[in-house]
Amino acid sequence: MLKATPVQRSNVTVDDRRAVFVAARTRKPRDIAAVPNEVFIRNMLKDRLGWPRREPAPESVKAVTREMVAALRPKAIIAA
Residue ranges of domains in the chain: 14-73
Residue 41: Cβ-neighbour burial (10 angstroms; 0-12, 13-18, 19+): buried
Tell me the pLDDT tens digit for each residue of 17-63. Answer: 999 999 999 999 999 999 999 999 999 999 999 899 899 988 999 99
**68 with 58: CB under 8 angstroms?**
no
3-30: pLDDT as tens digits? 555 677 778 899 999 999 999 999 999 9
Any residues with CB less than 8 A from the CB of 45 and at least 6 apart, and which?
A: 12, 16, 20, 57, 61, 64, 65
What pLDDT is recorded for position 9?
79
What is the band of 64 on the pLDDT scale with cuts at 50, 70, 90? very high
- Indicate yes or no: pTM above 0.75: yes
